[in-house]
Chains A and B, each alone.
Chain A
């Protein structure tokens, strides 16, 4: 990337990344740009459609196999014959085109936890993924956004895609995070305040003293759920916490990009969070958010800890700290799903998995599984789940008349013990 492009004034991080890639001095919200992508991602649900469309384009070869990442994670390990056949399409395509970033069962993880871990995400990168939670990578200072399968097909063919430059809304978090309150609570609170279309077509810039202290896993949780406010992307500007995470993972040179002091924002919204309670999104929408103290007597059939939102090692550590020496409530089922093989291995070494098993939780190999009602924990009619995942739409985890509440890993672990939604302090 040409660093000269990064010196212009009055622009946000996203505008500067897009301008640099477009070879322009600057871009403004609303501009349409056609730019090269650094990475294009697909999974077992979206890649088969992309492969079909790629074949319709009629190109013999992909633009550059090293720009393509394929991660079968939704219905894997395959839940049925149909899903096995979808993964087979992806596996064969990867072989045929020499795509080295294809991650199969046993070597994989949930895509948005896996890519940062594998060093495939760096500050200033432009990443598209045929999965809406691709916005996760903004936590590392990349411009990353979800697209559709045909977009992925075109990017595989020509290495480019089109974007409308988004306006940026800046969210500042002041004060300090109370005990048991996490990145998940910050993003749920934010979505609750602005609504599921509160940031539609916008970039969300997360900043302020609370974000400066937030760990990388909590940052990824926040950027991950930007889509739940309708945003094109969510991001946190790189700092020492980012660089410490990237060390030994990203070996290529990269140039961090920052919003100018005089950047023009569509809006700036500030929250003081020192008194924030853990937050719960009630069904059937991620913006239907209430503090945990208002979630009284909600009895739980199932609790899920995992997903691209909250299946990282910090999430498992906080859950294990609460579950250690306790048992899951006899009428509740707890599923714990480490998001990647690396996280699974670390949790094994640290003894976290033993704590979960002793607590009578089911521990699964990495998969998106129950988050989207795919497999591994589908709900029956009338059942109620509490989950660290990202969506609680009608029928999201199973039967259309089942219900999903969303929360942090701490609340999920504590509530699994109580058998109903509680503040972690109630079981500690």
Chain B
């Protein structure tokens, strides 16, 4: 799958309270959560983004609480992919489990400008292309088990396919 969109750039250690504040956790509807995405650290953010845009971040993106509402809010906002230097482990699981595309990419993210620059992401090949200058960066490949999860569309589809027959 190839995704392309405008980038919105965040720093290191973006925690899940920042992604979606706890006061909004009394709903589980992705589109309602999306209205408050990143609100406490960037109040205008939910109104700046367009479907298909990408979030770019530094290291340890999604640290803190295990709330799956965080990747759900990102998905609900129409963000097509999160590219970060690294992810906190529960966020990483959650994103793969719900089918939100994410990529770890160590290089090339520092010079990107929010709302201006565009990235193209080739999920299958793990390639990140800077649309402005054509630079191509390689992301860390997913282990085969996770590739299978991603290809099946997340953990629910995986469990259905693998275990559904027995029940």
Contact = CB atoms under 8 A, between A and B. Distances in A.
A149 interface: yes
Interface stretch (A296-304, A341-349, A359-367, A388-396): A388-396
Interface residues of A, number: 54
B163 A158 contact: yes
B25 interface: yes
Given A154-B159, A200-B86, A396 B67 contact: no
Interface in B42-76: 59-60, 63-69, 72
A269 interface: no
Interface stretch (A55-63, A207-215, A236-244, A325-333): A55-63
A223 to B, nearest CB: 16
Interface in A133-161: 134, 146-151, 153-154, 157-158
Interface stretch (A45-53, A100-108, A117-125, A172-180): A45-53
Contacts of B27: 82
B59 A83 contact: no
Given A82-B26, A230-B60, A374-B22, A154 B156 contact: yes
Given A147-B66, A230-B63, A49 B72 contact: yes
Contacts of A395: 17-18, 21, 40
Interface string B84-96: 0010111001100
Interface residues on B, range: 35 or more
Contacts of B65: 131-132, 372, 391
A132 B64 contact: yes
B140 interface: no
B131 interface: no
A154 B64 CA distance: 22
Contacts of B21: 373, 395, 400
A259 B93 CA distance: 27
Contacts of B163: 157-158
Contacts of A374: 22-23, 25
Given A46-B67, A57-B159, A148-B66, A200 B89 contact: yes
A148 B68 contact: yes
A285 interface: yes
Residue from the set A60, A74, A131, A150 with the largest chain B CB neighbour count within 10 Å = A150
B17 A151 contact: no
Contacts of B18: 393-395
B134 interface: no
Contacts of B25: 45, 74-75, 374
Interface in B1-44: 13, 15, 17-18, 21-23, 25-28, 39-41
A80 interface: yes
Contacts of B145: 32, 162
A57 B88 CA distance: 26
A201 interface: yes
Given A57-B164, A200-B86, 15 more contacts: A57-B160, A61-B167, A74-B25, A146-B66, A150-B94, A150-B155, A151-B155, A154-B97, A157-B163, A162-B145, A200-B89, A201-B89, A372-B65, A374-B23, A395-B40
Interface of A: 32, 45-46, 48-49, 52-53, 56-61, 74-75, 80, 82-83, 85-86, 129-132, 134, 146-151, 153-154, 157-158, 162, 164, 196-197, 200-201, 227, 230, 232, 285, 372-374, 391, 393-396, 400
12 contacts: A45-B22, A49-B68, A52-B28, A57-B159, A74-B25, A150-B155, A153-B156, A158-B163, A200-B89, A227-B64, A285-B13, A391-B65
